[in-house]
Amino acid sequence: MVFITVLLAIYLGGSTYFTKHFYLGSQINGINIGGLTVNEAKDLLSSEIPKYKLELKLRDGKKEEINGDSIDLTYDPKDKIENLKENQNAFYWPKSIFSKSNSTLNDIVTFNQELLDKQINSLSCINENIINPKNPSFKYTSNGYQIIPEEKGNKIKKEVLYEAVKNAIINGETKINLEQMNCYDNPKFNVDSKEVNKAKDLLDKYTNLRITYDFEDSKEILDGSTIKNWLYVNDDMEVMINEKNVSQYVYSLASKYNTFSKSREFHTSLGETVTVTGGNYGWIVDKPAETKSLIEIIKKGKSVTKKPAYSQTAVSRSENDIGNTYLEVNFAKQHIWYYKDGQLIADGDVVTGNVSNNFGTPVGTYRLTYTEKNATLKGENYSAPVNYWMPFNGNIGLHDATWRTEFGGQIYLTSGSHGCINAPYELAEKIFQNIKAGTPVVCY
C-alpha cells in the first residue's frame, strides 16, 4: 500500500511539474528542451539558433558548411512554442521516460534568401572541378563491343540543392547528405540498364557481318573494322548509323571502280595501242542509292555478297570494260570497224566532223544511245533525212550519207560533217542491223 502511495505521489508530482515544463527528452528542431519551461525553451532556442551550422556531405566524402550568421538567420518563434507546450498533456508524462519527442516547427527562424543564394553559389561543389555525369559508353574490340561503365561525376542540381538547404535550415537540421537528397545530376543509364545492353547487342550485330562487293575481276570486303567507324550511340541509347561516313565509303568505292570517261588503253585494228580519253562510256556507281542500300544491309545484320547499285553500266566489269563488241573510229584514217563478239562485222571509209569549221568529231569512248530508222537530222541551217541513225554523243552519231559520193581520205579537213560520222549506205545498213543501244563507240 505504501508503495502504491509513493508511486501515486510521484505521478501527481510529475504531472504538476510537466504542467509548466516540457517532457524530458523533448526536442525542437534538434535542440533539446526537455525539462524546460516555455520561456526557458525560448531563451535556449534564441541562444542556440545564431550558432547554427549546416553541414553538407558531398558525394566524394568531403564536407562543406553554411553558417547561420552568413545568411542572417534570426529566431522568430511567434506563438509556436506555447502552442507546442499546450498540446503536451501533463498527465501523459511517464511515456516520455521511454520515448523522446522531436518536434519540427516551421517558420520559427527567418533568413535572407539572397544571402543564402550567395552562399550556395560560393560553395566549392558548385564551382570547382565539376565533372559532368556520363552514360555508359562502348569500346570496339576484336571480341565484340565492351561496355564502359557510367561516370556519376559531381555536378550539382542547384535548384534541388537550394530547396534541400532551405528546408534543412527551417527544420533545424544540422546535416544533410547531398547524395541522399538527390542533389546530383546522374547519368540517365547505367551498365545494368536494359537499354545499354540492347545497344551493345545491336552494335555487335552490325559489326559481326561481312559484306563482299563483287566487281567480277576483284572484290572489296567490308567488315566490322570499318563499320564500327560509322556507328554511334545517342543520349537515348539508340544505335545510329552515320550516313555521311557511309557515303564517304561509297564515294571511295566509286572513285576506285568507276570507269566513266576515264582514259583507256585501246588496241586498235591496225595493231597499235592508243590512249583514249573522255567520252560518256563506263561504269558509274549510284552513290546515293548504294549508300541507302548499304545502310539497310547493315541494319539487317546479315552477311551478303552484292554488286553495287549503278546509275550507268558498261559491257564488262573487267579491266577492259569495252569487251569484244564495239564500234571503232579512226579519225586519222577516216575508217571505222564494227566488231561483234570479237568478229569483224563491217568496216569501211567514212567522213567525220569538219575540222576547218571547228566541227571536228570529239575523241573519247561513248555508248550508243539508241538506233532509229528513217530519221531527220536537224541543225542550224540544215535538215537532212537519213535511213540509219545511231547517236552516241548527244546529237553526234553514225548515219548513212547518200548525198556523198566519196568517203575517207582528207575530206573531213575542209568538207567534213557537222560532227557526225558519215558512212556509205551499205556500211551504215550493215552496222545498223547488227548493233544495239549500249554498244561502246571508241573514237580516236
Helix (H) or strand (E) holding 412: helix 411-415
C-alpha cell recorded at residue 155: 555536378
- Distance CA(184)–CA(170), nearest Å, equals 22
Segment 177-196 mean pLDDT: 96
Question: pLDDT digits over 251-289, tens only?
Answer: 999 999 999 988 999 999 999 999 999 999 999 999 999
User: What pLDDT is recorded for position 107?
Assistant: 63
Question: pLDDT digits over 140-185, tens only?
Answer: 998 999 999 999 999 999 999 999 999 999 888 889 999 999 999 9
User: What pLDDT is recorded for position 298?
Assistant: 97
217 pLDDT above the threshold of 90 = no
Residue with cell 535511213: 387
Catalytic residue list contains 335: no
Q: What does the domain layout of the chain look like in residue ranges?
A: 2-137+144-158, 195-258+278-312, 326-443
Question: pLDDT digits over 333-355, tens only?
Answer: 999 999 999 999 999 999 999 99
pLDDT band at 406 (very low <50, low <70, confident <90, very high): very high
What is the three-class DSSP state of 189? coil
pLDDT-wise least confident of 93-102, 120-129, 242-251, 279-288: 93-102
pLDDT band at 250 (very low <50, low <70, confident <90, very high): very high
234 pLDDT above the threshold of 90 = yes
Strands across the sheet containing 26-28: 31-32, 26-28, 101-103
Superfamily of chain region 326-443: L,D-transpeptidase catalytic domain-like (2.40.440.10)
DSSP string, 269-306: TTS-EEEE---S-S-EE-HHHHHHHHHHHHHHT--EEE
User: What pLDDT is recorded for position 351?
Assistant: 98
pLDDT band at 302 (very low <50, low <70, confident <90, very high): very high
Stronger pLDDT, 91 or 348, i.e. the higher one: 348
Cα distances from 333 to residues 330, 339, 351, in angstroms, run: 5, 18, 10
294-327 in b/e burial notation, b at 16+ Cβ within 10 A?
Answer: bbebbeeeeeeeeebbbebebbbbeeebbbebbb
User: HSE on the CB side for 415, CA within 13 Å?
Assistant: 10
pLDDT band at 404 (very low <50, low <70, confident <90, very high): very high
Cα distances from 200 to residues 133, 234, 238, 240, 242, in angstroms, run: 20, 13, 10, 12, 17
Catalytic residue list contains 125: no
What is the three-class DSSP state of 51? helix
Of 55, 26, 31, the closest CA to residue 45 belongs to 31
Q: Which CATH code of 3.40.50.720, 3.90.550.10, 3.10.20.800, 3.40.50.300 fits the domain covering 195-258+278-312?
A: 3.10.20.800
Strand pairing partners for 86? none
User: What pLDDT is recorded for position 66?
Assistant: 95
pLDDT band at 310 (very low <50, low <70, confident <90, very high): very high
User: What pLDDT is recorded for position 20?
Assistant: 82
Amino acid at 29: N
What pairing do the DSSP bridges indicate for beta strands 382-393 and 396-400?
Answer: antiparallel
pLDDT band at 78 (very low <50, low <70, confident <90, very high): confident
Segment 85-93 mean pLDDT: 69
CB 165 within 8 A of CB 172: no
- Distance CA(95)–CA(62), nearest Å, equals 40
- Distance CA(205)–CA(155), nearest Å, equals 35
* Residues whose CB is less than 8 angstroms from the CB of residue 8 and which lie 6 or more positions away in sequence, other chains included: none
Percentage with pLDDT > 70 across the chain: 91
Stronger pLDDT, 246 or 174, i.e. the higher one: 246
User: What pLDDT is recorded for position 414?
Assistant: 96
pLDDT band at 387 (very low <50, low <70, confident <90, very high): very high
Determine which one of 21, 125, 183, 399 is catalytic: 399
